[in-house]
Amino acid sequence: MKSKDETHWLVQQSELRKDQTGIEFLEFVESWTSRAEQVIDDKDWTPDEAIRQTLVPTESELGRVSSNFLGQMLVVLVSEWFYGDELELGFTPLERRVFEDYVALMVTVAEQRANEDSDPPEGVQVPVEVRT
């Protein structure tokens, strides 16, 4: 995956590799972006077109991911991927809602952790730090 900031992305990868869920998440993100980068280069597609068109082939290879994971992945793509800013500009209203809802959840979880020093709600994973 081409990243905006290679050093920061290496730190995020290290964090994700700490458990099996993170490893699978990282594998999916990297496979998905690799496919997308290929069609961006070969077909001159925009990042949003490339991500939409390469999701199904990536899921065919690695398995279907939940909408929760897709929200997390969109956050990672926007914050870490070289094409993230352009991707976000091309979001459909539905993609934007999934992205914004997950960002809001991450903010809520971060506030809870700061206030209570507690774990996130069951079933919620916050795999990466969001850079603004």
pLDDT in tens, 70-125: 999 999 999 999 999 999 999 999 999 999 999 999 998 888 888 876 555 565 55
Report residue 126: phi and psi, to 5°: -115, 90
CA angle 62, 66, 70 (to 5 degrees): 85
Spatial contact of 110 and 124, defined as CB atoms under 8 Å apart: no
pLDDT of residue 111: 87
| Phi, psi (degrees; rounded to nearest 5) at 25 | -60, -50
pTM (predicted TM-score): 0.83
Report how far residue 103's alpha carbon sits from residue 126's, in angstroms, rounded to the nearest whole number: 10
pLDDT at 132 over 50: no
